[in-house]
Amino acid sequence: KQEVTQIPAALSVPEGENLVLNCSFTDSAIYNLQWFRQDPGKGLTSLLLIQSSQREQTSGRLNASLDKSSGRSTLYIAASQPGDSATYLCAAEWANNLFFGTGTRLTVIP
């Protein structure tokens, strides 16, 4: 069974700090990996999509990396802001199925 794991489940950091969120997956034959943001009571917003042939993607203060051989992806957030507080989910795709981790709940303290 394909599994996606995110550790830690929750993280609190002071404003301005750089941080890394971790995602691991069991099968290296993924098609792509996506990072999402979910605000309380809301749907998911796609942040970054990394194709299986890519190593990283960047958008503004966000940088996501992918290492298929080790089954890991990281989301780097630079200069964190209180508005970054949300739950961050990673999802890996195998053959038309998207498998999600349970997320990391991030709190950025002003």
Return residues touching another protein (CB under 8 A).
4, 31-32, 34, 36, 41-46, 49, 51, 89, 91, 93, 96-103
Least separation in angstroms between residue 47's CB and another protein is 9
Burial string for 86-101 (b: 16+ CB within 10 Å, else e) reads bbbbbbbbeeeeebeb
Q: What is the DSSP letter of 83?
A: G
- Which residue number, 4 or 75, has a Cβ lying nearer to another protein? 4
- Which residue number, 80 or 87, has a Cβ lying nearer to another protein? 87
Least separation in angstroms between residue 99's CB and another protein is 8
CB 3 within 8 A of CB 26: yes
- Which residue number, 18 or 58, has a Cβ lying nearer to another protein? 58
CA separation for the pair 56, 18 (Å, rounded): 17
Least separation in angstroms between residue 74's CB and another protein is 18
Side chain identity at residue 89, one-letter code = L
